[in-house]
Amino acid sequence: MREPLPEWPLFGMADDVRSALRQAQQRKTPVALATLTAVEGGGPRPPGTQMVFGDDILAGYFSGGCVESDVADHAFACLADGVPRRLVYGEGSPWPDIQLLCGARIEIFVERVGEGDLALTELLAAEQERRSVIWVSDGVRRQCGAGVQAWDGAIVQAYDPVPRLVVFGADPTALAIASLGAQSGFETTLVRPKGPETPPPLAGVAYRRDEPLAALAAIGTDAWTAIAIATHNLDLDQEALAAALPSAAGYVGLLGARKRLAERLAPLRAAGFPEARLQQLHAPIGLDIGGKAPWEVALSVIGEIVALRHARTGPEPRAATPKRETV
C-alpha cells in the first residue's frame, strides 16, 4: 500500500510542478503526472493545474483535500501498470461518495512519465532556457515543443518560463519584496550595487553587488521578468530605471511618491526614452491596499505583478486597482 498523504499539505504550496519532475528525472524514477483538464461550477483550481506523484515525490493540489487522496490511489496504480486514467469528480462521477465541497465537477488526466521520456527532457530543457512550450499527450504518445499540434484524445498543457523578479534596494521594504517574491515562486534576485559581500539571509533569494546595467545583463530579462526599484536613493533609482526601461522586462515598478514622479522621469525623457515605455512604468509601485509597512508594500507589489500577469493570460483582462501614494 502507498503511504498516506501528509497531514499538513505543504506539497501544495508550489504551483509549478516542474521542480518535482526535474527531481524525478535526476533520481531516475518514474512519476505519475496528473493534470486538471476541465472544471465546471467554480472549482478551487483552474484547468491546467497539475500534481506529481512518485516515490518520496509529491507536489501540487487540486481541491484542498477533497479528492487528493483518491487521485493519489489512481496515480500510483498508473505508475504500476502504465495505463493512463481519466478521472471525474462531482456530477457524473463513478465515485459519488467523493464530493467537492464547492459543488464543482472536475476532470483529471493521469499519465505515467518515465525519467528518460523525451517529452520530459524537452520540457525541462525549455525551462532552463526560458522557452515557452506545449505538452501534448494521450498517456501513451506525448510530444513537447513550441509548435506541437494536438491530436484526438490528447490533452494540451502550456508551460511558460518561471516568473523572474529583480529587486533593487537594501532597506526592509526591498528585503520584504524579495522575500515574498521568492516565497511566491519567482526566481528572485536582490541587487544592491556596492553592497556588502555577505548576501542577505533570505531563503531562495540570489544576490548581486554590481551596477544596475551589468546586473540586468547578467541576470537576463524577458517578458516574464519583473523589476522592482526600491532603493530610496534618487541617483541609484535613476540608474536602475535607465537600465530597466529599455530591457525586455514585462513589468517595471518604481517606489516613490506620485508627486515627485514627473521630476524623476524628466531626465529619462530628456535622454530620449520612448514615451510609450515610460507610460508602462508602474509608479507608484504596487496595488492600493492602504498600508506602507515593509510587508504591506511587498504584498502590494507582488499582488500587482501577479494581477497583471493573469490579466494578460486570462480570458477577461482585469484592470489593476488605483495606486496608493507611496513615500
Predicted local distance difference test score (pLDDT) of residue 98:
81
- The residue among 112, 144, 159 that closes a domain is 159
Nearest of 124, 108, 126, 104 to residue 116 by alpha carbon? 124
Q: Which helix (H) or strand (E) holds 57?
A: strand 57-59
Could you tell me if 206 and 269 are in contact, meaning their C-beta atoms sit under 8 angstroms apart? no
Q: Does residue 323 form part of some domain?
A: no
Predicted local distance difference test score (pLDDT) of residue 314:
54
Ramachandran sector of residue 267 (left: φ over 0; alpha: ψ -120 to 50; beta: rest): alpha
User: Given the DSSP bridges, would you call strands 187-191 and 164-168 parallel, antiparallel or unpaired?
Assistant: parallel
Instruction: Output the tens digit of pLDDT for each of the chain's 327 residues.
Output: 688 999 999 999 989 999 999 999 999 999 999 999 999 987 789 999 999 999 999 999 998 888 999 999 999 999 999 999 999 998 888 888 787 777 788 999 999 999 899 999 999 999 999 999 999 999 999 999 998 999 999 999 999 999 999 999 999 999 999 999 999 999 999 999 999 999 999 999 999 999 999 999 999 999 999 999 999 898 999 999 999 999 999 999 999 888 888 888 888 898 888 898 999 999 999 999 999 999 999 999 999 999 999 886 655 433 333 344 443
Predicted local distance difference test score (pLDDT) of residue 263:
84
Predicted local distance difference test score (pLDDT) of residue 316:
46
Q: Does residue 100 form part of some domain?
A: yes
Q: What is the grid cell recorded at 281?
A: 512604468
Q: Tell me which residue range forms the domain holding 74.
A: 10-159
Does residue 168 share a domain with residue 155? no
Indicate the burial class of 81 (C-beta count within 10 angstroms; 0-12, 13-18, 19 or more): exposed
Does residue 170 share a domain with residue 150? no
Q: Does residue 262 form part of some domain?
A: yes
Does residue 85 share a domain with residue 25? yes
Q: Does residue 103 form part of some domain?
A: yes
Q: Where are the beta strands (DSSP E) in 172-272?
A: 187-191, 205-208, 225-229, 251-254
* C-alpha to C-alpha distance for 186 and 306, rounded to whole angstroms: 10
- The residue among 124, 159, 194 that closes a domain is 159
Does residue 186 share a domain with residue 134? no
Predicted local distance difference test score (pLDDT) of residue 317:
39
Does residue 133 share a domain with residue 18? yes
Does residue 189 share a domain with residue 67? no
Does residue 114 share a domain with residue 185? no
Q: What is the grid cell recorded at 226?
A: 519583473
Count the domains in the chain.
2
Does residue 26 share a domain with residue 144? yes
Predicted local distance difference test score (pLDDT) of residue 313:
60
* C-alpha to C-alpha distance for 174 and 159, rounded to whole angstroms: 29
Give the domain CATH number at 261: 3.40.50.720
